[in-house]
Chain A
Amino acid sequence: MSELSSTTGNLEVPYTPPPVTPKLPPREWIRANLFSSPFNSTLTVVSGLVILGILRGLLSFLFNPIRQWDATATNLRLLMTQAYPEEQYIRVWVSTAVILILSGLSLAVWRAGSAVPLSKVGRNLVATGATMALLTLLAPFSASATVQWLIASAVVAAGGEGIRRFSAIRSGSVGSAGSVGSGGSSGDDGRTVTTLTLLGVALTGLVVSLWVVPYGHHSFILDRTPRVMAEPGTVAMTTKLPWTVMLVILVAAYFLGRSLRDRLPTNATRATLLVSWLLAPPVLLYLVLRDPSFDMGHVLGTDLPIFGAYAVGGAVLLSWLTRPTTGEVGRIVAALVLIVGFCLFLQPMRMIVRIDMLMLACFALAAPTFAGGQRARRRYVVGWLGVLGVSSWLITAINTPSTVDVPGDFFMGGLSLTLLVAIFTLVVSFPLGILLALARTSTMPIFRLLATWFIEFVRGVPLITILIFFSIMVPLFLPRGMHLSELAAVVVGYSLFSAAYLAENVRGGLQSITRGQHEAAEAVGMTTGQKTVFIVLPQALRAAIPPLVGQCIGVFKETSLLAIIGLFDVLYIARAVMPNQTEFMGSTRENVLFVSLIYWIFAYQMSKASQRIEKRTGLGER
């Protein structure tokens, strides 16, 4: 009781924002931050020289006439989707559009974006202009190019200054240019603009530039003698038209989401969107991109009846098991279902029957945890139907031959493969990692031992040995007649690896849950399963968000190891394919630099997003 009152007492204390340190005028700022002492001045001079040297070296590397940036420009499609056939490329665009629609809706529904003072935008633009001018002077440009770039930077800086003054005038703060900075940043008196608007403006600018700026037209012409075409002019219609459509779709989806978000129940909408995000990768991969040619006779004659039988039987069984009055007869029945599932698994019969039976057994075992009223039971049965439907459909689709005709093992490569492997690895390893973490913190010693050994073993060896092992050895461990492509085997190995690391992060979260939470859950009569699912895990996962996001970034970055075992990921193409094209011999450095830029953008954005989540949920402040 006393704790409760003290907590509410804390809540009533009004929040006082930390004192704002006033912005110094430029000259004093420089003195305080750069030349405060002789030692500091020396440091400033030395590091300034170092920075200038690095910039100079980088620029003369980038703009050296012998650089083959044509290689990247010509091979962009190869880097993104490898050899996906031209006539079916609409599938790639449809997939991109689906992702963009989901993004637009999510941005609106989760009310993403924050307000930025317009004066800050202006200041940043001015700084950008100044940096551009500095870089122009450092770069090895010809005189005319230097002048052009200087004019461009002046335009940017002037635009920024204009925006700054505009915001200062409209917000009514009077004063000279020197004091505006301090006034604009400290309060809400300045005009603001949301980050989403800025993003929209930037994206629109990029797309418009595709129509206006003569980037040049680079492509391979696959005649009898393949050759490279590189001619000045605007970008080809096959590039700029789809991207324009994509932009329109994104913006339309955002505004659609905005108009819908107030009319629909928020939680239901968010749940639907989350499920769509989860389902999007497999659906896009196996239905849109891979285009399976279903054998309708087989589907209608075999797959659908099996699905129907499990759907009806499972629904009846589960709705009985989730009745609060069933008691431990239900547990015994669930255990029987599990035993039947195992016996079935050892019998030779259709794989789908065996897998469905095991899934049903898992649902039956978990049923008492979710027992409750009419609604809870209905939700559980619907969950079973959904999981059963998706998995049946996936199993059917995976085993159906594809119509997309490409050379090689897998029909996609490049950045798509990188992203696919990262997403699938994360989706598979998350539940696995949570289970491992629960087992490692469990009071059951055998579970704990097995989980600990597995985790410590996996964490002790490098990823590359695991990938090599799985890519070479997995076919040897499979029973006759079962096949797993090299890519699938590698994803399995990578998932096991990443699950061990995720488990350690989740364990950290689990250990941050205080004893009182467990005791309170037990006191209100929850079973161990209910306590774990409804009380412990939600809090533990929330506490583990920062390391989990870090792990996601790690998984994304380390997909580059696929290049070592010879899968066509973006790094392999940049390093082993493009430098061997007759036109672009030895262009490795340019290509690898471009690839590292791609990786950097993704990883940096993820880490920034993680910091925002941390701030928003108040992690680390309690």
Chain B
Amino acid sequence: MTQPTHSSSTGSSNTHAAVSARVPLWRDVVVLKWVTQVALLAVVLGTMWFLASQAGDNLRARNINTDFDFIERPVDIQLGEGIDTHPDTGGRALWTGMVNTLRLSIAGIAVATVLGVIVGLARLSDNWLVSRLASTWVEVLRNVPLLVQMIFYFSVLTTLPRVGLDTGPINGWLHISNKGISMPRVFIADGFYQWLVVVLIGAVAARFVHRRRTRIHDETGANTSPMLWAIGTVALFGLVGLFVHPAFSWLGGVFGAVAELLDSLPVIVPQVVLAAAAIGLAARWILRFLAAHRSARGHLALTDDDWFRVIFTAAASLAIVFLVVRWTGLSSWILNSGRDLFHVIEAKFDVDGAARPFDAMRPDIVQKGKFPNYGVNGLTLSLGFAAVFFGVVFYTSAFIGENVRGGILAVPKGQTEAALAVGLTRGQVIRRVVLPQAFRIILPPTGNQYLNLTKNTSLAIAVGYSEIVQVGTTVFNQTGRTLPVVAIWMLFYLSCSLTISVIVNWFNVRMQLVER
């Protein structure tokens, strides 16, 4: 006779009890399963506790501190570039590093996507030369380590000519030298946030226009191109906003009022809100879970794994409530940072009426001391930035190109043939049949590549671009706080990864084929 497994005995709780009664304890699968799991959990926790206590002893013995106080303490660090090249505190230095990482990642993701799509399409081209060029690009770049590529680009860039007072391919517009690449930049000026409000209103209006045009299309069958209309609406609002945006300067007062409101709230309010949210979300999840596991006649069939999920969720929500209640610092921190945030936004609206939303500047070269150097006007890619940027963009473009190619090839041929058979033109076939289906296949692996790109920017430490790992290394070399800095790194990268996954997943869910 085979042993009764738990899953087969869960038809109803009565039979389960009967079977359990017959089987001795050391042969009951459910008991064995849970004993094993608890034992393993004990071993894992015990090992971690053992290692942590060893680390504690060793750290005390060597007089190494693991406080986070360096965040507020003054440090003597000079960074190559960033929002603050002479940060006062360790925290400020790390923040500069984070901003640099984000700059690199966002710019890299944008350019790598465009380049990757071009490479992928070129590999599929009918033109023999173009497809060969693209496949060489892919095979060379993805088989050489990224770090090696970056170091090579960096060592090539360092041999560029020295910067002089009138150098560059286009003097006053584009300068390329061993100090980096400097070009004109467009940046957001004081009036930007007021203008942004106009654009947001435009986006809401565009949604209505889009719906309306779609409805007309559905009703009459006429080609109403709703997307074009929507984009046009936003563009119109943006254009008009350039002139009327000072009309929205009163919004600053609203944000200021919100900030005052947050300031006057007692700590108990966020505590109650957070606790209620935790319990509410957990309860909703549990109720839906139970509903999903109820048979048509209303019987609840839960395996022990399902019970674990329910209990775990409930326990986790209770733990969060406990944490929120006991740790009042968290709630007051949320209140304070919310107030500060709204004050910052208020300040953004506090401008005189004539401020422009955008401004532009041309690169300049200044001579401070002996050697000329770039001034602050232009958009300057330092050598380190350029090396890392080209490195991650080229490397990732090879992988994204492969994803694009695979995705397009994965669309069944029958789809194209069917679309051609009903009389669509080639362009329509690609735009309306192939690309929407290919996009669904391309998106998940490309999201992974975005994650990889963000993580790969950490290699910038090898060429001295001050992103978070490089700054962190400097900080812990100076303060000796290795463990806290490593913790900050990991937290930062985990939140970046989480953000990208959430965004990609959101797109992914929206793009999924709704079946049946």
A interface with B by C-beta (< 8 Å): 33-34, 36, 40, 43-44, 47-48, 50-51, 328, 332, 342, 443-447, 449-450, 457, 459-465, 468-469, 472-473, 475-479, 525, 553, 557-558, 560-561, 563-564, 571, 575, 588-589, 592-593, 595-596, 599-600, 603-604, 607
Question: Chain A contacts of B41 at CB under 8 A?
Answer: 446, 450
- The chain A residue sitting closest to B2, CB to CB, is A525
Q: Is the interface of B mostly helix, strand, loop or mixed?
A: helix
Task: Check B459–A464 contact: CB distance below 8 A.
Answer: yes
Q: Chain B nearest CB: distance from A593 CB in Å? A: 6
B152 touches A43 (CB 8 A): no
Please give, as numbers and ranges, the residues of chain B lying within 8 Å of A328 by CB-CB distance.
26-27
A47 contacts which of B37, B62, B127, B482 (Cβ < 8 Å)? B127
With A43-B127, A564-B462 as known contacts, state yes or no: A461 contacts B37, CB within 8 Å: no
Identify which of residues 268-323 in chain B touch chain A, using a CB-to-CB cut-off of 8 Å: 303, 305, 308-309, 312
Q: Are A599 and B144 in contact (CB under 8 A)?
A: yes
Contact assessment for B151 and A477 in the assembled complex, using a CB-CB cutoff below 8 Å: no
A selection of 20 A-B contacts at a CB cut-off of 8 Å is: A43-B125, A43-B127, A50-B133, A51-B129, A328-B27, A450-B44, A460-B497, A464-B458, A465-B489, A468-B486, A469-B486, A472-B482, A476-B55, A477-B58, A479-B54, A563-B147, A596-B148, A596-B152, A599-B144, A603-B143
B149 interfacial contact with A, CB 8 Å: yes
A477 touching B490 by the CB < 8 A rule?
no
Residues of A within 8 A of B151 (CB): 571, 575, 588, 592
User: In this complex, what residue of B is CB-closest to A475?
Assistant: B58
Contacts of B308 in A (CB 8 A): 445-446
- List, in ascending order, chain B residues with CB within 8 A of A463's CB: 455
Whether A603 contacts B144 in the complex (CB less than 8 A), given A43-B125, A51-B133, A462-B493, comes out as yes
Verify A461–B490 contact, CB threshold 8 A: yes
* Residues of chain B in range 357-375 having any CB-CB distance to chain A below 8 Å: none
- Give the docked Cα–Cα distance between A460 and B340 (Å): 30
Q: Which chain B positions have C-beta within 8 A of A446? A: 37-38, 40-41, 308
Contact for A457 among B37, B145, B489, B494, CB less than 8 A: B494
* B114-145, CB < 8 A from A: 125-130, 133, 139-140, 143-145
- For A561, give the chain B residue with the smallest CB separation: B147
B205 at the interface (CB under 8 A from A): no
- In contact, A465 and B127 (Cβ under 8 angstroms): no
- With a CB–CB cut-off of 8 A, which chain B residues contact A595? 148
Taking CB atoms, residues of chain B closer than 8 Å to A557 are 143-146
- Interface residues in B454-487 (C-beta closer than 8 Å to A): 455-456, 458-459, 461-462, 469, 473, 482-483, 486
Q: Which of B128, B152, B155, B469 contacts A34 (CB 8 A)?
A: B128
Q: How far is the CA of A40 from the CA of B131 in the complex (A)?
A: 12
Cβ of B40: which chain A residues have Cβ within 8 Å of it?
Answer: 446-447, 450
Q: Which residues of B contact A558 (CB under 8 A)?
A: 145
Task: Give the residue name and chain of the B residue nearest to A559 (CB).
Answer: B145
Q: In the complex the two chains form, is A465's CB within 8 Å of B462's CB?
A: no
Given B152, B159, B473, which contacts A593 in the complex, CB threshold below 8 Å? B152
| Residues of chain B contacted by A443 (CB below 8 angstroms) | 303, 305
> Contacts A445-B37, A600-B140: A44 and B305 contacting too (C-beta < 8 A)?
no
Closest to B59 in A: A476
Q: Determine if B44 and A462 form an interchain contact, defined as CB atoms under 8 angstroms apart.
A: no
Task: Indicate if the CB atoms of A607 and B143 lie closer than 8 Å.
Answer: yes
What is the minimal beta-carbon distance from A224 to any residue of chain B, in angstroms?
33
Contact A473 B486, CB 8 Å, known A571-B151, A596-B144:
yes
Contact partners of A461 in chain B: CB under 8 A = 455, 489-490, 493-494, 497
Complex Cα gap A457–B493 (Å): 10
Tally chain B residues at the interface, Cβ within 8 Å: 61
Contact A560 B145 (CB under 8 A): yes
CB contacts under 8 Å to A, within B40-74, are 40-41, 43-44, 51, 54-55, 58-59, 62, 64
Give complex CA distance A479, B54 in Å: 6
> CA separation between A468 and B155, bound complex, in Å?
24
Residues of B147-199 whose CB lies within 8 A of A: 147-149, 151-152, 155-156, 159
- Chain A residue nearest to B6 (CB atoms) is A443
Does B36 lie at the interface of the complex (its beta carbon under 8 Å from any beta carbon of A)? yes
A43 vs B455: C-alpha distance when bound (angstroms): 35
- Assembly CA distance A464 to B139 (angstroms): 25
Measured between alpha carbons, how far is A477 from B483 in the docked complex, in Å?
Answer: 12
Chain A residues closer than 8 Å to B473, beta-carbon distance? 468
Check if A592 sits within 8 Å of B130, measured CB to CB. no
Bound together, the chains give a CA A36 to CA B128 distance in angstroms of 11
Nearest CB in chain B: distance from A107 CB, A = 23
User: What A residues does B483 contact at CB under 8 A?
Assistant: 473
CA distance A328 to B497 in the complex (A): 47
In the complex, B33 has a CB within 8 A of chain A:
yes
**Residue numbers in A under 8 Å from B493 (CB-CB):** 460-462, 465
Q: Give the top 5 A-B pairs by smallest Cβ distance, nearest first.
A: A603-B143, A33-B128, A462-B455, A446-B37, A460-B497
Cβ-closest chain B residue relative to A527: B3
Residue among B41, B155, B303 having the largest count of chain A Cβ atoms under 10 Å: B155
A588 to B43, CA, bound (A): 49
CB distance from A468 to the nearest CB of B (A): 7
> For the complex, what is the distance from the CA of A557 to the CA of B144, rounded to whole Å?
7
User: Nearest Cβ distance between residue B416 and chain A, in whole angstroms?
Assistant: 19
A445 to B312, CA, bound (A): 10
| Chain B residue with the shortest CB-CB distance to A557 | B145
Residues of chain A within 8 A (CB-CB) of B489 are 461, 465
Q: Which residues of B contact A332 (CB under 8 A)?
A: 26
Q: Is B498 an interface residue (CB 8 A)?
A: yes
* Chain B residue with the shortest CB-CB distance to A41: B127
Least distance between B160 CB and chain A CB atoms (Å): 13
User: Chain B residues near A457 (CB, 8 Å)?
Assistant: 490, 494
Q: A446-B37, A473-B486, A588-B155 are in contact. List 16 more A-B contacts (CB 8 A).
A: A34-B129, A47-B129, A47-B130, A328-B26, A460-B497, A461-B489, A461-B490, A462-B456, A462-B458, A463-B455, A464-B461, A465-B469, A465-B489, A473-B483, A560-B148, A603-B144
CA distance A332 to B25 in the complex (A): 12
Q: Which of B64, B147, B149, B156 contacts A589 (CB 8 A)?
A: B156
User: Which of chain A's residues has its CB closest to B5's CB?
Assistant: A522
Chain B residues closer than 8 Å to A478, beta-carbon distance: 54
Q: Which residues of the partner chain B approach A589 to less than 8 Å between Cβ atoms?
A: 152, 155-156, 159
Contact A560 B36 (CB under 8 A): no
**B130 surroundings in chain A (CB, below 8 A):** 43-44, 47
The residue of chain B having its C-beta at the shortest distance from the C-beta of A30 within the complex is: B128
Of B51, B143, B486, which is within 8 A of A600 by CB?
B143
**B residues near A468, Cβ cutoff 8 Å:** 469, 473, 486
**Across-interface contacts of A47 in B (CB, < 8 A):** 127, 129-130, 133
In the complex, what residues of A have CB within 8 A of residue B146's CB? 557
B148 lies within 8 A of A445 (CB): no
Name the residue in B2, B129, B482 with the highest tally of chain A Cβ atoms < 10 Å from its Cβ.
B129
- Asked if A564 contacts B54 (CB within 8 A), the reply is no
A291 and B212 CA atoms in complex are apart in Å by 81
User: Which residues of A sit under 8 angstroms from B127, Cβ to Cβ?
Assistant: 33-34, 40, 43-44, 47
Which residues of chain A have C-beta atoms less than 8 A from B309's C-beta? 445
C-alpha gap A31/B497 in the complex (Å) = 48
Q: In whole angstroms, how far apart are the Cα atoms of A355 and B483 in the complex?
A: 30
In the complex, which residues of chain A have a beta carbon less than 8 angstroms from the beta carbon of B44? 450
A476 and B469 form a contact (CB under 8 A):
no
Complex Cα gap A475–B156 (Å): 38
Partner pick for A473 among B33, B312, B482, CB 8 A cutoff: B482
Whether the pair B126, A33 counts as a contact (CB closer than 8 A) is yes
User: Nearest Cβ in chain B — how far from A522, in angstroms?
Assistant: 8
Given A328-B26, A460-B493, A589-B155, A571–B147 Cβ distance below 8 Å? yes
In the complex, are the beta carbons of B125 and A571 less than 8 A apart? no
- Distance between Cα atoms of A558 and B455 in the complex (Å): 13
The smallest C-beta distance from A87 to any residue of chain B, in angstroms, reads 33
